[in-house]
Structure 1
Amino acid sequence: MARLILLNKPYGVLCQFTDEAGRATLKDYLPVPDVYAAGRLDTDSEGLLLLTDDGALQHRIADPRHKLPKTYLVQVEGEPDEAALAALRRGVDLGDFHTRPCEARVVAEPGWLWPRDPPVRFRKTVPTGWLEIVLREGRNRQVRRMTAKVGFPTLRLLRVAIGPWRLGELLPGQWREVPAADAAAGREQPAGLAAGAAPAGRRAPRAAGRAEASRRGRTR
């Protein structure tokens, strides 16, 4: 049966298992062999990453033709107005492609959110706001390009859900495995599992030091 693992990818970690430059990778956090990421998450983005050993499941999750919704929490510079939200919802012309219609709304700053290391650099004279954006596609740095296009550059980006699978209470570097039958069927997680009740995996002991070294000097 298929295996499906939910990982909270920390900021500054490459979405791959090896790196010749010695930067932090998934291998530092996930000591599970023969699983591969179903989709990507930028190095400077955080949150939910799905990994599986099943090629068909990997394709179904990652291929935008299946229109699996991906939910992001986005901290932006400035306070988005209704005109910006309407533009995001309609779709934005980014030059090389036009984004599909999406869901976008203003939300309160998440009270459960962990501090980012390194912290986001703020400008004292410019307020910030939070958006929830739900896409059914996934181009390179798409969310960041979308918010910048409507006048509100992204400061911090977290993915909190992919289809029925949710980040729950996983902290950065923690992971859990979804029951194989649910993974294969793509069924909604039980409430307890979605809330982070299942035991989380421990990250590799060397991960914290390597991740810290790789992040040194970064601001966003």
Structure 2
Amino acid sequence: MHSFTEENYLKTIYYLSARHQAEVTTNSLAEMTATKAASVSDMLRKLSEKQLIHYKKYQGVRLTEEGERQALRVIRRHRLWEVFLVEKLGFGWDEVHEMAEELEHIRSEELVERLDSFLGYPQFDPHGDPIPSPAGQMPQVQYRKLSDVPVGGEVQVMGVLEHSSEFLQHLDKTGLTLGCRLRIQEINGFDKSVAVQMSPEKSLFISNEVARNLLVSENQS
């Protein structure tokens, strides 16, 4: 059985490697975990001894097959709990991340599978992130950033890259929630802000920072 800290490291390594498509550095882990590099190195040695990561000092870190399996189990629990908190307890999508951070360490597999069944086997969490299967497989989704969509593109908001409460609250205020449809009207050449049409009656200017953190699909009916 792995400690909560070890599970958090495995999850963070998974996220970083998926984001950058490369081995993870000690410095990037230190930044993500708000931990000193020396402490990160100590933890990486422990995870390496348990054969959960491939690690050599001053080189990148990557998960072993078992390490990835453990990371996906934690992510699965986290995202299922987020669905439960939003759909069954009425929390906002901006409120549930920290609570799910605690609940994800409940290790009862029977509880997790009953939770999955109770929720109707959801495929995505409230932020649009795919939920790993019980077998530890991460569904593949083909989304792009709103900032990469050209003028004239018609898209549907499917997910977010930024999960902070402040960002999600901002989206709620502007109506940029999952499922809303947008048409790119203009891209500002100076600051790359985007003008989008949300409905025949409503248009909105979106900063480049927001556009870079919205995931969209052009293939929704």
**Category of TM-score, reference length = shorter chain:** under 0.3
Where relative contact order (Cα < 8 A, 6+ residues apart) is larger, the structure is: 1
TM-score, normalising length: structure 1:
0.26
The structure richer in helix per residue is 2
Query: Which protein shows a greater Rg?
Result: 2
The structure richer in strand per residue is 1
